[in-house]
Amino acid sequence: MYGFRKSISAAAFADSTAFGISLKSALVVAQVLGYMTAKFIGIRFIGSLKKAHRGRYILLLIGAAHLCLLFLALVPAPWNTVFLFFNGLCLGLIWGLVFSFIEGRSYTDFVALVLSINFIFSSGMVKTIGRYTIEWGHVADRWMPFVTGCLFLPLLFFSVYLLNKIPAATPEDQRRRGERPAMNSAERKAILQTYLPGLAAVAFINLLLTILRDIKDNYEIEMIGQLVPGASPAIFARMETLAAITVFFVLLTLSGIRNHTTSLQRQHQAVALGFALLAVCALFLQQGRGNPVMLFVCYTIGLYIAYNTIQCLFLERFIAACKVRGNIGFFFYVMDSIGYLGSCFLILYKELFSPHINWLPYFIGLSLIFGTLGLLAVSASWRYFSPKIPRHAI
* Prediction pTM value: 0.80
Is residue 45 within 8 Å of 184, Cβ to Cβ? no
Q: What is the mean pLDDT of each run of 10 residues along the chain (394 residues)?
A: 88 80 86 88 78 89 97 92 95 89 82 81 86 91 94 95 88 74 78 90 95 88 85 83 90 83 92 97 93 93 94 85 77 85 85 82 95 97 87 56
pLDDT at position 129, please? 92
Confidence (pLDDT) at 392: 55
State the DSSP H helix or E strand holding residue 17, giving kind and residue range, or none if neither: strand 17-18
Per-residue pLDDT at 356: 80
- Give me the pLDDT at residue 240, please: 85
Helix axes of 81-91 and 54-74: crossing angle, nearest 10 degrees:
170
From its phi and psi, is residue 256 left (phi > 0), alpha (psi between -120 and 50) or beta? left
pLDDT number for residue 86: 97
> Under DSSP, is residue 277 helix (H, G, I), strand (E, B) or coil?
helix
Per-residue model confidence (pLDDT) at position 178: 67
Structural domains in the chain, CATH included, are 2-388 (1.20.1250.20)
